Structure 1
């Protein structure tokens, strides 16, 4: 009886080891927003806000509160300089005025005053790239 039991256990173990084992791997590669080459030619302020956008770029790039912001699909990116490095941030980290810029902002505000980038940077006290932090600007 003991021998029969051991044979049955051995057969069960051999049969069980013949089943395929599988594992699932989910890989997500985030390459971030495209690299921006060169300074913006001009900046346009979204009326009623302190949010600026760069109309010369195909990508949506905004400046607010001393940082550059760029949405990509459902993700947002932030940089201290317009040409990066860009880092993904939680949507909850995006300032409300930036997040609330209408999707049609280029059509709506594209004819607003275009401020040449050099002049815009000068007006911001030379802080076009990291403008306003610690100077009372862009803090809501």
Structure 2
């Protein structure tokens, strides 16, 4: 019986001799923690002006440099090829899947509304102001 126990212990020792453990706190072997960075904070002094886009049923903030939208009490922010949502326009922001965006927002390419709105404002601003450039 002692011989069997000794044989089992030696077998286990040989089997485990190829295994080793690296302590997390040992120098040079530190774990890498990857925390996805969210979007930068939107810094504004007051609530952004919103414009309703009836064809998409959503509001957007044309005066900001970022793509910021509003729908049913939630703010949506497009940054670095990802969508974020928040209950406040200043965050905190959480990632939201495209399939969870409001239907009207899913149909809008990022940056499109802002560009279209600025072009429309420019046309209205200069409408009837001379004959243009020749």
TM-score (norm 2): 0.59
Measured after TM superposition, the shift of residue 97 of structure 1 is: 0.4
Instruction: Please give the residue correspondences for 1:1-140 in structure 2 after superposition, counting only pairs within 5 Å.
Output: 4-18=3-17, 19-21=19-21, 27-38=33-44, 39=46, 42-46=49-53, 48-73=55-80, 75-105=82-112, 106-113=114-121
- Say if 1:61 and 1:53 are closer, same or farther in 2 by CA, change over 3 A: same
Determine the structure 1 residue equivalent to 2:25: none
When the two structures are aligned, how many residues end up with a matched partner?
A: 112
* Aligned-residue offset at 1:36: 1.1
* Matches of 1:50 and 1:44, distance apart in 2: 11
8 A Cα contact 1:60 1:71, kept in partner: yes
Taking CA–CA contacts closer than 8 Å with sequence separation of 6 or more, which of the two structures ends up with the larger relative contact order? 1
The structure having more radius of gyration, on CA atoms, is: 2
Contiguous gaps of at least 5 residues in structure 1:
115-140
Q: For structure 1, which segment, 7-16 or 104-113, has the greater mean C-alpha deviation from structure 2 after superposition?
A: 104-113
Question: What TM-score do the two structures reach when normalised by structure 1?
Answer: 0.57
Distance 1:32 1:94 in 2: 17
| Structure 2 unmatched runs, 5+ | 23-30, 123-134
Show the counterpart of 1:117: none
Distance in structure 2 (CA, Å) of the matches to 1:5 and 1:91:
62
Residue 83 and residue 98 in structure 1: after superposition, are their counterparts in 2 closer, same or farther (change >3 A)? Answer: same
- Indicate if the aligned counterparts of 2:75 and 2:85 stay in contact, CA closer than 8 A: yes
- Give the 3-state SS of the residue equivalent to 2:9 in structure 1: helix
